[in-house]
Amino acid sequence: MTKHFVLETRAEPEDDPLAGAVQAVEELRTGFTEFRTGAEQQLAGLAEIRTQLADLETRMNRPGNGGGNGTGEISLERRAFGNFLRSGREALDVEEVRALIVGDDVKGGYLAPAEFQAEVIRGIVEISPIRQAVRVGSTGAGSVVLPKLTGRPTASWVGEDEQRDETTMTFGQLEIPVHELACFIDVSTRLLEDSAINVESEIASELSQEFALKEGAAFSNGDGSKKPLGIQRANIKPVLNGHAANVNADKLIGLMYDLPQQYRNIGSWMMNGTTLGIIRTLKDANGNYLWQPSIQAGQPSTLLGRPVIEDPEMPNIGTAGAEPIIYGDFNRGYRIYDRVGMSIMRDPFTQATRGLVRFHARRRVGGGPVLTEALRKLKMAAA
The tally of domains found in the chain comes to: 1
Each residue's pLDDT tens digit, 210-226: 899 999 999 999 999 99
Side chain identity, residue 229: L
pLDDT band at 51 (very low <50, low <70, confident <90, very high): low
Domain around 296:
235-341+368-379
Give yes or no for residue 313 having a pLDDT over 70.
yes
Give yes or no for residue 141 having a pLDDT over 80.
yes
- Asked if the structure places residue 300 within a domain, the reply is yes
- Asked if the structure places residue 311 within a domain, the reply is yes
- Asked if the structure places residue 315 within a domain, the reply is yes
Nearest partner of 215 among 204, 200, 231, 199, judged by Cα: 231
Q: What is the mean pLDDT of the chain?
A: 79
- Asked if the structure places residue 259 within a domain, the reply is yes
Q: What is the mean pLDDT of residues 262-291?
A: 88
Give yes or no for residue 285 having a pLDDT over 60.
yes
- Asked if the structure places residue 276 within a domain, the reply is yes
pLDDT > 70: percent of the chain: 75
Give yes or no for residue 311 having a pLDDT over 50.
yes
Q: How far apart are CA 230 and CA 225, in angstroms?
A: 11
Whole-number Cα distances in Å, 141 to 339, 364, 368: 7, 10, 16
Q: Domain of 281: which CATH number?
A: 3.30.2320.10
- Asked if the structure places residue 218 within a domain, the reply is no
Q: What is the pTM of this model?
A: 0.70
DSSP H or E segment with residue 168: none
- Of 363 and 81, the one with more pLDDT: 363
- Residue 337 near residue 179, CB atoms below 8 Å: no
- Asked if the structure places residue 191 within a domain, the reply is no
pLDDT at 44: 65
- Asked if the structure places residue 277 within a domain, the reply is yes
